[in-house]
Every structure is written in C-alpha cells, then in structure tokens.
Amino acid sequence: MLIVTTPTIEGKKIVEYYGLVTGDSLLGANLYKDMFSGVRDVVGGRTSKYEEELTNARHMALEIMQEKAEKKGANAIIGTRVAYHNLGGTMGNTIMVTMSGTAVSFQE
C-alpha cells in the first residue's frame, strides 16, 4: 500500500476514490508515571521512552488506517495527515494519535 502526504501520486492516474479513512491510537495515563519513575532515560534533553511510545502509537494508527483502506479495495492513501490530541480532563494524561487520508486506487 502506497501512503503519501500529497494530494496526488506523481506519474500515476488515480482511477477511484473510496473516501476518508482514519486510524486512532491512545497513549494511556500511566505512560507519564512509568516514564518518570526510577531512572530517567534522557539523551540530549529528549526522553527516548516517550518518543518510542509516540512512534508505536503512530505506527498503530497507520496500520489501522491502512487496514480500512484495504477493506475498501484501495491500493493507496493520499493526503495523509497525523495529529496528536491531549485528551486531559477525566481521561488523565492521555494522548490520542489520529491518522487520516483518502483511500484511492491508482493504475500501476
């Protein structure tokens, strides 16, 4: 599956649009407690454990979005975007990663 952030696929003709596909993934409230308890893993002012968890959440959201596109018969997703939302409030320190794009089929 080809996944791009652009609205077109250069050199390819899009033959069918299937519509919006999304994928969401949550980072739980315990992440912050787990990250900062014990020894901190901080390199150059960056917390590698936090970055690792965000990467995992982003990959999960991407996989979910891709599965939805495949079910529609698409072979690509165009206009892909990623967003991070701090849900806060009663959800604690929960972060949601959302991926979205347009499922399409293009001629090979």
Kind of pairing, strands 76-86 and 2-3? parallel
- Contact in structure between 73 and 66 (CB atoms under 8 Å): no
Q: Tell me which CATH homologous superfamily contains domain 20-71+82-103.
A: Hypothetical protein apc22750. Chain B (3.30.110.70)
Q: What is the domain partition of the chain in residue ranges?
A: 20-71+82-103
The predicted pLDDT at position 43 comes to 47
Tokens (6 digits) for 41? 């893993």
The predicted pLDDT at position 38 comes to 43
Tokens (6 digits) for 101? 């794009």
Q: What is the mean pLDDT of residues 29-36?
A: 52
pLDDT tens per residue across span 34-93: 555 444 454 455 556 777 888 899 999 999 999 999 999 999 999 999 999 887 755 557
Judged against a pLDDT cut of 70, whether residue 26 lies above it is answered with: yes
Q: What is the gyration radius of the CA atoms in the chain, in angstroms?
A: 17
